[in-house]
Chains A and B, each alone.
Chain A
Amino acid sequence: MTDGVEQKETPAGLASVEAVTQMLAGTGYIATPEIATAVYLAHHLRKPVLIEGPAGVGKTDLARSVALGLEQPLIRMQCYEGLDESKALYEWKYGKQLLYTQILKDKIGHLVEDADSLDEALHKLTGFQDIFFSRDFLEPRPLLKAMEQSTGSVLLIDEIDKSDEEFEALLLEVLSDYQVTVPEIGTIAAQVPPLVVLTSNATRELGDALKRRCLHLHIDFPDADLEAQIVRTRVPEVTGRLLERLVDFVQAVRGENIRKLPSISETIDWARTLILLHADSLDPALVRSTLNVILKRQSDIAEVAGKVEALLAGGDKAGR
């Protein structure tokens, strides 16, 4: 298959599944075995990873941490409706082309001056015409940029579900062969295939063709232990007892019937908030006044505010 472009060497951080876990831990990202395995396989099978899961469980963060851990540049492409080739792959620098034609006008005039016939002038020009469609006039956009990194890179294609279906089709060439075709120039293949991470919030079902080309990783809300570990890494100031109660409370809230469940990033924000407020334990009044940090809908806040005592007590029992 594409074995001709075999990686020169495997970075130390990708040598084994444990190495991946350690590398990510070094950047403050606590990875489950599933996550670490997916990253490991992504490198060794040279396949993109498609990450699905609810908002705020660290999908984007994973790409950032891998880039940080590998000391490679992170090239990020945010998807949105209407995203197209010229914004994702490459664009011609029209302005520069125009300007250069103006500047070179005289020169061109000079070149064709001694031609006797129109035919001959045209013939002469044919030899030069490609200068305006060369690399100098090519503006690389994220996908092309990722192909051109000689050190390798991490390419993050964020929220792919927000883009149009046509764009998915465009990605196929990039994702399976790691190359970009520019009709005027030819095919530009990646020097070092980037590690590609796609994220999706599942607002729409992705195409089968795309899914088949990717490894699939589903990140869900973490369990209490993992969440505590994550919060401890991100907000080291949080002490044992507070951390435990805070995580238990968030876990209990996730069991409630609310529209937008609090994610890990919200737990972290809440931990930071509580530290700023110099809280050393959770009491109902404090929880109520800071609920808006973990819940983002008025109806959810109202729903949970009425049950704070019960949720705290429930979390307490589970904690012991």
Chain B
Amino acid sequence: MERTLTRYIRALRSAGAGVSTTEAMDAARTVDVVGWADRGVLKTALGTVLAKSVEEKAIHDQLFELYFSREAASAAASEGKPGEGGDPDTGRPGEGEAGADPQSGDAEGDEGAEGGDPVEALSALARGENPGQLAMALERAGAAAGVDEIRFATQSGYFVRKMMENMGVEALEARLMEALSRRTPEGEAEAEGLIGTRSALQKQARAFVEARFEIYGKSAQDAFMNEILAERSFGALGRSDTERMRALVERMAKRLAVRHARRRKVRDRGRLDVRRTLRANAGHDGVPFDIIWKIKRKDRPKIVAVCDVSGSVAQYVRFLLLFLHALKEKVTDLETFAFSAHLADVSRPLETLPFETAMRAIVDEVGSGGTDYGAAFLELDRDFGEVIDRRTTVLVLGDGRSNYSNPRLDVFKQIADQAKRLVWLCPEPATNWGSGDSCLLEYRPFCTLLTQCSTVIDLERALDEILMAYD
């Protein structure tokens, strides 16, 4: 049973829930305390010990159901055959090579059957006369084929075939060929039966591999797909990617928040805080036992995001806003402005409405028309100038394509002077900056940072850099 637990912990790890050795040991002690008997208690108990956050708890609850329903099945199987000792995996490692040899594979495969014909034994299994024995055989073949190593759904065909081989299907196929070559009605009837047996076994093996994939492989595949997605340009994302992307963005934001969740105070050693020292030592008759130093408080990040939501950039804005709002824990002070033809404060709809609805409302409000960067900066400075102070980072997201209108560099310079930093994120690659109606190169001298931002990784890096200025 200890093995059951260690394998469960391995499954948890591959599902993305970090389980340390200490926690694994705690889990073993937990099982000692609560026992295996009560499934409900076991589930909550292991959840308490192994999961250390709400997300991990969800992973645990889901996996527990998957894993222990399978475990229950194979436990029932071993009960069906008490002589087996209940551990289908003992001494299996050597089986890997042996399985390739049909003769030895058969010898293993039929130990439950009344000796004799290996093909007959397989047929008996396929007929499902003894479900326990079938489960055992599958379990054994699965272990020999290394199904637990499965990582991608596309590998399942390979593993099914390996399992079949391990169960001795080659002998069956040889018999099948032989029956067909006889070219007699009896031979054909036998062949038909054998084909039925084979496909029944194949179905069982496939179900087995798929169940294992759910437990061990699914999250590895997820991680792989996330990796691909993270490097894909926002512009190239399809509708179906949006949901996955949203989850990814939320996770990245959380990671970023943790990375920057440092203390906001720095001991300014060497500068005595006379007032607090005197007060702290009043009880010691003014003898300064405790010296208290002055403490410098760090600014809390304040971000004013100014986003171009015209057609060409809208998709990028969506993810920037998603990211910024997922960072709420860290960036409590966030003002969002959107502009296209004119500029509007959109912080409120983003906070109160569901994200997609808010995005639609925003685009409706600022109108689609021609983008005018100059006018937008003018409106920002005139109507909302007071939100930008010396601890503010102004974050502009846009391609800088202003339809040949006046870029109003004077206003832009004033905004840049007022703010702590001005960061411009541009979806276009640097080679396109300044081409056509792009004013980026003119704005560039006033920006603290101007960088290309087209994938979620770029976005994370840019926000990391912004938050760094406040650490």
Encode B320-346 as 1/0 by CB contact (under 8 A) with A.
000000000100000000000000000
Q: Which of B22, B57, B263, B289 contacts A216 (CB 8 A)?
A: B57
Residue numbers in A under 8 Å from B49 (CB-CB):
41, 45, 215
Verify B47–A165 contact, CB threshold 8 A: no
| Cα-based distance from A181 to B53 in the complex (angstroms) | 31
Chain A residue numbers with a CB within 8 Å of B33 are: 41, 44-45
Q: Which residues of A contact B41 (CB under 8 A)?
A: 17, 33, 37
Contact flags (1/0) for B33-53 with A, using CB distance below 8 Å? 110000011001101110111
**Residues in chain A near residue B289, CB distance under 8 A:** 94
B residues 23-69 with Cβ under 8 Å of A? Answer: 23, 26, 29-30, 33-34, 40-41, 44-45, 47-49, 51-54, 57
Whether, in the assembled complex, B284 has its beta carbon less than 8 Å from a beta carbon of chain A, the answer is: yes
B352, CB-defined interface residue at 8 Å: yes
Q: A45–B284 contact, CB under 8 A?
A: no
Alpha-carbon distance A261/B10, docked complex (angstroms): 38
**Residue B363 is within 8 A (CB to CB) of chain A in the complex:** no
CB-based contact A47/B26 at 8 Å: yes
Which of chain B's residues have a CB closer than 8 A to the CB of A215?
48-49
* B interface bracket (residues with beta carbon within 8 Å of A): 20 to 34
Q: Which residues in chain B, 241-275, are within 8 Å of chain A measured between CB atoms? A: 257-258, 261-263
With both chains docked as a complex, state the minimum distance between the C-beta of B352 and any C-beta of chain A, in angstroms: 6
The yes or no answer to B283 lying at the interface (CB within 8 A) is yes
Closest to A47 in B: B26
Main secondary structure of the interface of B (DSSP, over half): helix
Given the interface pairs A41-B30, A165-B263, A216-B53, the reply to whether A34 lies near B284 with Cβ below 8 Å is: no
**Binary per-residue interface labels of chain A (25-47) against chain B in the complex, 1 for a CB within 8 Å, 0 otherwise:** 00000000110011001001101
A233 CB to closest chain B CB (Å) equals 22
Residues 243-262 of A at the B interface (beta carbon under 8 Å): 257
> Is B20 an interface residue, CB under 8 A from the partner?
yes
Please give the distance in Å from A84's CB to the nearest CB on chain B: 10
A225 surroundings in chain B (CB, below 8 A): none
A110 at the interface (CB under 8 A from B): no
Contacts of B20 in A (CB 8 A): 212
- A94 with B284: CB separation less than 8 A: yes
* Complexed CA–CA distance, A37 and B44 (Å): 7
Cβ < 8 Å to A, chain B residues 370-427: none
Complex CA gap A300/B57 in Å reads 31
Cα A205 to Cα B263 in complex, Å, equals 12
For the complex of A and B, 7 pairs with smallest distance between CB atoms: A37-B44, A211-B52, A44-B33, A215-B48, A216-B52, A205-B258, A38-B48
- A residues in contact (CB < 8 Å) with B: 17, 33-34, 37-38, 41, 44-45, 47, 52, 94-95, 98, 164-165, 204-205, 211-218, 257
Identify the B interface with A (CB < 8 A): 20, 22-23, 26, 29-30, 33-34, 40-41, 44-45, 47-49, 51-54, 57, 257-258, 261-263, 283-285, 287, 289, 329, 352
Known: A52-B54, A205-B258, A216-B53. 10 other contacts (CB 8 A): A17-B34, A17-B41, A37-B34, A37-B41, A45-B26, A95-B284, A98-B285, A216-B48, A217-B48, A257-B352
